[in-house]
Amino acid sequence: MLDARATDTAVDAFIARWEKAGGSELANYQLFITELTALLGLPPPDPASADNAENAYVFERRVDFHHADGSTSTGRIDCYRRGCFTLEAKQSGLAMQSTAWDAAMLKAHAQASNYARALPADEGRPPFVLVTDVGRHIGVYADFTRSGATYIPFPDALSHRIYLDDLRRPEIRERLCAIWRDPLALDPARRSARVTREISAKLARLAKSLEAAGHPPDLVAGFLMRCLFTMFAEDVGLLPPETDPHSFSRVLRDMRADPEHLPHLLRQLWADMNTGAAFSGVLRAPVPHFNGGLFAEPEALALSKEQIDLLIDAAGADWREVEPAIFGTLLERALDPVERHKLGAHYTPRAYVERLVLATIVEPLRAEWANVQASAYRLDQDGKRDKAIEAVRAFHRRLCTVRVLDPACGSGNFLYVTLEHLKRLEGEVLEAQAGPGFTQQGLELEGGTVSPEQMLGLETNPRAARIAETVLWIGYL
């Protein structure tokens, strides 16, 4: 294992060597990947075998495409690691972040995605697709459902591109190592699912305690919904954070010795959150307006010291780590005395939700976006920049006016996943402004933004409907 100084020296040498690279990807890409793996302490690709099924980590892995007319054709993945990634290499020679370079990288991304989908079913689709402009850039895209349907920028549209200089950052090197060694460890939903189950279990214990004290279940559910959203608002910075002497968590701790006055403070705080307040006497700070009706009835329950302790314990969780895609179901069970015993039982996993959402909503929109990108590139190349800009803006306006209806929405899991994917796509549309040459601010003002108001649901259970609305706003924020 190299020490930090030797690692920095090796990285500097690697960057200096490849900054001067030219020629074609055929001449350089295998050497680039081999030296990159050596730099990261990873094994290089293996020699290819005559038996294609044994080629789990190789250059030039053969894949067979089966076409609708019954014909087949053959392609070759530049670099493949089974269960990890397909990699497509280019050596464009184009100015990076130009419209021509963006178009070349977009084409490479589509090619690598098609290779991933063409892999034999028994191998499965890899969670990552990598696109490299040899010696200059690695674009990272992920599909943790492993359906191969949509590989989206990872970790997001603004930071999925790793440039040569970025290799100086240890966290970037660690990310690349994880893609090679344990790619599913990078799935943010894994940690979020664990945290979500832990939080739901705490809320279930608190709900049971309050019901045992004689409070009606519906009153308990409403009270805990207001509490949990306040905890979330604190952790995402909409209210003073826990480190502030006037935070929500500090109020709970301070009032433990004086529990009979806590309901009064909670009612006042929630009334301020319902309307917005230039100055809240409870938190001694401005409080924004939280619409949606959650705080329209700011009823607060009387709590014992032991119950306040349970609330303090729940507030101590990191609410930024909640996974809204399963939170609705778990919260509904936590707040329902009849369903509470199912809290740890089966719920619809996010991957199952995505299989429906991607096929019916996201993939058609992404196909439209790919066409818009190609059209905008052609218009820009023809000197029609104004029309290129308008094409992208028109798609953004369309994205901001899409309406999605779940006719049996339950606690909102499907609607939330849809909203998240629309926001991810919107991020890519806004990020694309760097190519045609217009500002992100101008694009946002032109067409608004994707928001929870576009998600519509029908539900006969009032509690589930309220949870669905809360889940959407937590996910959006």
Encode pLDDT of 70-88 as tens digits: 888 999 999 999 999 999 9
Half-sphere exposure of 364 (CA within 13 A, CB side): 9
Whole-Å CA distances, 374 to 153, 284, 421: 18, 53, 21
Type and span of the H or E element at 81: strand 72-81
Q: What is the pLDDT of residue 455?
A: 97
Q: What is the pLDDT of residue 434?
A: 52
φ/ψ of residue 285, rounded to 5:
-160, 160
pTM (2 d.p.): 0.76
Encode pLDDT of 142-185 as tens digits: 998 887 668 989 998 889 999 999 999 999 999 999 999 999 99
Question: Using N-to-C axis directions, what is the helix angle for 324-335 and 350-357, rounded to 10°?
Answer: 120
Q: What is the pLDDT of residue 1?
A: 45
User: Taking the mean position of all CA atoms in its chain, how far away is CA 51?
Assistant: 38
Q: Is the peptide bond preceding residue 240 cis, with omega within 30 degrees of 0?
A: no
Structure tokens at 78: 């530049």
Q: Quote the radius of gyration of the chain (alpha carbons, Å).
A: 26
How many Cβ atoms sit within 10 Å of the Cβ of residue 32?
Answer: 22
